Amino acid sequence: MIPLHIQQLLDERGYSQRTDDKEAIRRTLVALGIDPASELGEFYLAYDPSLLQSDTSYEQLLDVVIPVVDGAAPVEADPSETPVGMATAFARDVWEVPERMICLTTTEGEGAFLYDLSSGAIYDFSLSEQAELCNGSLSPRWNSFFEFIAWYLS
C-alpha cells in the first residue's frame, strides 16, 4: 500500500488517482518485468508519474501507458512502445545497463533514474558510472521506490 505521507504529498499538490484501465496497466507492468504488487507497480497502478512535478529534480518521470493525444481513447500497446519501455530499451541497448534495470526517466542527458527489478532500489545513474553499475559496486541512492518518490515530491 502506498504510504499515507506519500498520498498526502500527492493530494496537497492536487494529483488525483488515475482512471486508466487498471488491467491493461497491470498487463504492461508484467510484460516489462515489474511486479504489480511491488512499490513501483502499486504506484503505476494508482498514479500517472509523468504528471508529477518535482522541486528537487529536473528529471521527468515516465509512464507505462502511451500518452493520450487530443482526447483520443487510450490504446493498449506493446510494452516496448510505452515511454518506460522505450527508455529502458535504450538504456539496455546503448548504455548496456543490466537487464534487471528499468529506466524511469528520459535518457536525454547522460543519466537517468533506474529501478532495480531484483531489489526495488533506485539508482541516480550517470553514464560515467556504467562500469560500477554493471559490476555491482555502485550503491543505490534510495533503497525503495517509496523513499525515492518521497524525495522527488519534497
Sheet of 111-116, strands arranged across = 101-103, 111-116, 122-126
| pLDDT greater at residue 100 or residue 71 | 100
Give the model confidence (pLDDT) of 25-48 as tens digits. Answer: 999 999 999 999 999 999 999 998
| Residues 39/140, Cβ–Cβ less than 8 Å | no
Average pLDDT, the chain: 91
pLDDT of residue 76: 65
| Residues 48/29, Cβ–Cβ less than 8 Å | no
Pairing of strands 101-103, 122-126: unpaired
> Which pLDDT band, with edges at 50, 70 and 90, does 72 fall under?
low
Average pLDDT for 112-132? 96
Domains assigned to the chain: 4-67+76-153 (3.40.1580.10)
Average pLDDT for 108-132? 95
Q: What is the pTM of this model?
A: 0.91
Q: Is the pLDDT of residue 84 over 90?
A: yes
Cell, residue 105: 526517466
